[in-house]
Structure 1
Amino acid sequence: MSDKNQSRAMLLGGLAVFLWSTVATAFKLALEWLSPLQLLAWASLFSTLFLMGAVSWQKQWGAVGHFFRQQPLFALLLGVINPAVYYLVLFRAYDLLPAQQAQTINYTWALTLSLLAVPFLKQPLRRRDMIALAGGYFGALIIATRGNLLALDFDSIEGVVLAMVSTLFWAMYWILNTRATAPATASLLACFLVGTPLVWGLMAWQGELVAPTWQGLAGAAYVGLFEMGVTFMLWLGAMRSAVHVSRVSNLIFLSPFLSLVFIRYFLNEPIAPATFIGLAMIICAVIYQQRGGSEDAAVETAEPQNQR
């Protein structure tokens, strides 16, 4: 009997999108109590513990071990990128920028994917890709300058650069991840088993290894569970249950707009009109690019993670 159930898929997908929409707000709240490095260390620890439980439940420890034996250097590379480098850069960007800017600029990673597919996957850059890239990055510039394009007045040029750099690491991770031999949950745990100790070692070396407040710990737990843990499993379940995958995938475009609602009411951060305009341009660019014929393997693999 088929385990496909579109109603269940939409419910799981909707829950995943809802939870992903809260993480930008959670990042900013947690960063009031923790440094970017401390937040990453504690959040990655919670993610690792959750993923260990998920792998045990799925009986995939053999797949984790096989991945390390067959692709040790590759597993090390992926773990350095995610969670270590990517989230450290991203959290620093959130520390410097208003949440609405960091969140929406980070969303351009789906466009960055097509750029990196050229050297990594030897895929041609189509005319459609170039139009989408121009429109999406122009939208990011509108957001970063709050619409004041001529003055190029940024809240934090360092924060904008870091937010853009984070898209490179995230796109790179998912392109490289297409070469992983392990199942999705097992390969993700392998990355965290590599990256989490590295982050904790860096935190100790930087002298930031101190007991967090309960507020900081609670924020890190929320980020660790709902940025990659529980939400990842919900989305994976939605994909597996879906009769029409595209209908579930389209839910992801609700995430950045819903995220702005949380940012406005929980962070009391007024949403600039330029943010809506720029975000609309970015999403239109992503949709235009991905609906223009058959999608390449990297985009298909990465699309479920297009949440922030």
Structure 2
Amino acid sequence: MPSFSNNTKAMAFGLGAVVLWSTVATAFSLSLKSLSPTQLLLIACAVSLIFLLALLGYKGQLNQLKYHATQSWKASLFYGVINPFLYYLILLQAYDLLPAQEAQAINYTWAIMLSFMAVPILKQRLTLADYIAAASCYFGVLYISTRGEITTLAFSNIIGVGFAILSTIIWALYWLLNTKDDRPSLIGLTLNFAFALPIILTFAAATGELTHWQPEGIWGAVYIGLFEMGISFVLWNRALKLTTNASQVANLIFLAPLLSIVWLTQLANEPILASTLVGLSCILLGLFVQNWSKRKPS
């Protein structure tokens, strides 16, 4: 039997994660036709937590989980409020108000947001490439948000666009603060979901969303919890551990929005707007410029 190098395995795991992530916009779009953002988040969080607990049980790390749950409960509560509670609740609101193609394209600008937020939080400095990348990405956001009518600034849904941009701020903040988190990654993620679940449940009860469930969206929520919040994380984490070239694996993420367009047209029957393609091209160009600049020798 042929043997595969660790880098080959890493690319395979990374590609698997990217393919799963590319289906999420379609799953969001289909599920939100039957469930509210809060209901969808509640089911997905519960499913993801069950998966992560089963994985830790399989790896024999439940005792570690118990230890960190008692020793780091403040961190677990803090990070759990940010992600999954706030991040996914706001992201799902964006998907509920915008076509999935627009919400997912805007969401991909989180890497640019992270660079700018790293200046005050991590005391990092911006480069010329960061400014060029930001200009390209946010021109793309503007083009998508106005559906090509950038001179009139007639936004298709300003509230939905606001939620989509806010989700990038929260996601970038989560990863910047996560650099100071000393919990093991898988255990930390599991605790985040464990502490967030009762908060999401309480929020759902307070907003009257524990009733009037439509079963058509439940399987989509289960899919999101299992694949977007669970298995994809394991695959991506495994890819980064196996590879000797992290940037090569990271470049796979550029495939996700392109594959997402395919799934949206084929499975969600969402017609793709020309403005989305133009704007997404600008966003991907900006991300490429930023990624390329960080690979250059200093």
CA deviations over 1:86-131 (Å, ceiling 9, x no partner): 1110001000000110000000001000111011111122222122
Counterpart in 2 of 1:46? 47
Counterpart in 2 of 1:138? 139
| Aligned CA-pair RMSD | 1.9
Query: Match of 1:6, as an amino acid?
Result: N
Structure 2 CA distance, aligned partners of 1:250 and 1:131? 19
Q: Which moved further from structure 2: 141-150 or 245-254?
A: 245-254
Query: Match of 1:185, as an amino acid?
Result: L
- Contact residue 89 and residue 165 of structure 1 kept, 8 A: yes
Counterpart in 2 of 1:107? 108
Give percent identity, aligned residues only: 45
Structure 2 CA distance, aligned partners of 1:271 and 1:9? 32
CA distance 1:4–1:67, shift in 2 (3 Å): farther
CA deviations over 1:182-207 (Å, ceiling 9, x no partner): 12111101110111110011101111
What does residue range 228-243 of structure 1 map to in structure 2 within 5 Å? 228-243=229-244
Q: Which moved further from structure 2: 51-60 or 255-264?
A: 51-60
**Moved >4 Å (runs of 4+):** none
Structure 1 CA distance, aligned partners of 2:121 and 2:187? 23
Deviation at 1:294, TM superposition (A): 5.6
Structure 2 CA distance, aligned partners of 1:224 and 1:273? 31
Counterpart in 2 of 1:55? 56
Compute the TM-score of the two structures, normalised by the length of structure 2: 0.93
Deviation at 1:70, TM superposition (A): 4.2
CA deviations over 1:230-275 (Å, ceiling 9, x no partner): 1111111222222433332211110001101111121221111221
Compute the TM-score of the two structures, normalised by the length of structure 1: 0.90
Query: Match of 1:64, as an amino acid?
Result: L
CA deviations over 1:145-168 (Å, ceiling 9, x no partner): 111101222221100000000000
CA deviations over 1:58-108 (Å, ceiling 9, x no partner): 223344344344443322211001010111100010000001100000000
Structure 1 CA distance, aligned partners of 2:206 and 2:266? 37
Matched, 1:275 2:276: yes
Count matched residues: 294
What does residue range 117-132 of structure 1 map to in structure 2 within 5 Å? 117-132=118-133
Counterpart in 1 of 2:32? 31
What does residue range 1-308 of structure 1 map to in structure 2 within 5 Å? 5-210=6-211, 212-293=213-294
CA deviations over 1:268-289 (Å, ceiling 9, x no partner): 2111122112111111111211
Structure 1 CA distance, aligned partners of 2:285 and 2:62? 41
Counterpart of 1:123 in 2: which secondary structure? coil
Structure 2 CA distance, aligned partners of 1:124 and 1:189? 33
Deviation at 1:8, TM superposition (A): 2.0
Q: Which moved further from structure 2: 276-285 or 27-36?
A: 276-285
Deviation at 1:4, TM superposition (A): 5.4
- Contact residue 89 and residue 163 of structure 1 kept, 8 A: yes
Query: Match of 2:105, as an amino acid?
Result: T
Deviation at 1:293, TM superposition (A): 3.4
Structure 1 CA distance, aligned partners of 2:14 and 2:132? 30
Q: Which moved further from structure 2: 6-15 or 229-238?
A: 6-15
Structure 1 CA distance, aligned partners of 2:207 and 2:247? 45
Query: Match of 1:79, as an amino acid?
Result: G
- Contact residue 129 and residue 289 of structure 1 kept, 8 A: yes
Structure 2 CA distance, aligned partners of 1:294 and 1:72? 37
Q: Structure 2, unaligned stretches of length 5 or more?
A: none
Counterpart of 2:23 in 1: which secondary structure? helix
- Contact residue 34 and residue 215 of structure 2 kept, 8 A: no
Counterpart of 1:293 in 2: which secondary structure? helix
Q: Structure 1, unaligned stretches of length 5 or more?
A: 296-308
Structure 1 CA distance, aligned partners of 2:231 and 2:145? 31
Query: Match of 2:78, as an amino acid?
Result: L
Query: Match of 1:61, as an amino acid?
Result: L
